[in-house]
Amino acid sequence: MTDSADSDDVFSRAREQMVRQQLAGRGIRDPGVLRAMSETPRHLFVPPSLENRAYTDQALPIGYSATISQPYVVALMTESLRVSKRDRVLEIGTGSGYQAAVLAGLVRQVYTIEIVPELARAARERLRRLGYSNVAVREGDGYLGWPEEAPFDAIVITAAPDEIPPALLWQLKNGGRMVAPVGPSFEQDLVLVTKSASGAISRSTIAGVAFVPMKRSPR
């Protein structure tokens, strides 16, 4: 057996343990989400120096003052969206591409926006290399969303705005769901926004979280 095969086996076991203990063990029930998390190689979405910590339940730095969210929070946000195979989903805050990769196994198409050029380029290449053909990556300001592809069945924001951008509320389809950390730096509520068939907006709090602030392009 090669060193590469040994490493793959180690990561596979670590991923299975992550899903069993950190996700299912803490209340994640959606079988599709658990499957997607078990199939997505998180160690390929963190810096090589942090591979040995890839399946611990913690956020990890990926450079440029950005992080990859802890697995439980990724699973919780994904489960809260209640997506299906026919859905088109917008993600704000691509980072390394991990959340987009998890969603790619659950939906028809993922559109993801990253404001840091270096992260956007790296994520696009990483996702392409790993075969995620249903993910489109854009470098840009997430506060503006992706209007030409709207409306979206679901939207997930992976950095924290003080308030949910109006453009994103507009780009959410009637009947859609949005999950976002909202509030001041590193002290936010994870908020679920639902939009009724008539377009009425309602909000509820899922949990307390700590995300990096959502950046804006200079005006």
Please tell me the distance from the alpha carbon of residue 78 to that of residue 73, in angstroms, as a whole number: 8
**Which residues neighbour 126 within 8 Å (Cβ) at sequence distance 6 or greater?**
44, 45, 96, 97
CA atoms within 13 A on the CB side of 97: 31
Please tell me the distance from the alpha carbon of residue 32 to that of residue 77, in angstroms, as a whole number: 13
| Options 3.20.10.10, 2.60.40.740, 3.40.50.150, 3.90.180.10; CATH of 57-209 | 3.40.50.150
Mutual angle of helices 31-39 and 71-81, in 10-degree steps: 140
Q: What is the pLDDT along the chain (219 residues), one digit of tens a residue?
A: 445 566 778 999 999 999 999 999 999 999 999 999 999 999 999 999 999 999 999 999 999 999 999 999 999 999 999 999 999 999 999 999 999 999 999 999 999 999 999 999 999 999 999 999 999 999 999 999 999 999 999 999 999 999 999 999 999 999 999 999 999 877 899 999 999 999 999 999 999 998 988 988 876
Catalytic hit among 69, 198, 204, 217: 69
Contact 132, 104 (CB under 8 A): yes
AA letter at 161: P
> Which tokens sit at 94?
């691509």
Phi, psi at 76, each rounded to 5°:
-60, -45
AA letter at 130: L
Please tell me the distance from the alpha carbon of residue 57 to that of residue 71, in angstroms, as a whole number: 6
Q: What integer pLDDT is reported at residue 1 of this predicted model?
A: 41
Domain-by-domain residue ranges, the chain? 57-209
Q: What integer pLDDT is reported at residue 3 of this predicted model?
A: 57
Q: What's the distance, Cα to Cα, between the start and end of the chain in Å?
A: 55
Q: What integer pLDDT is reported at residue 216 of this predicted model?
A: 86
Active site residue 196: no
Length reported for the chain: 219
pTM: 0.94
Q: What integer pLDDT is reported at residue 217 of this predicted model?
A: 81
Q: What integer pLDDT is reported at residue 2 of this predicted model?
A: 45
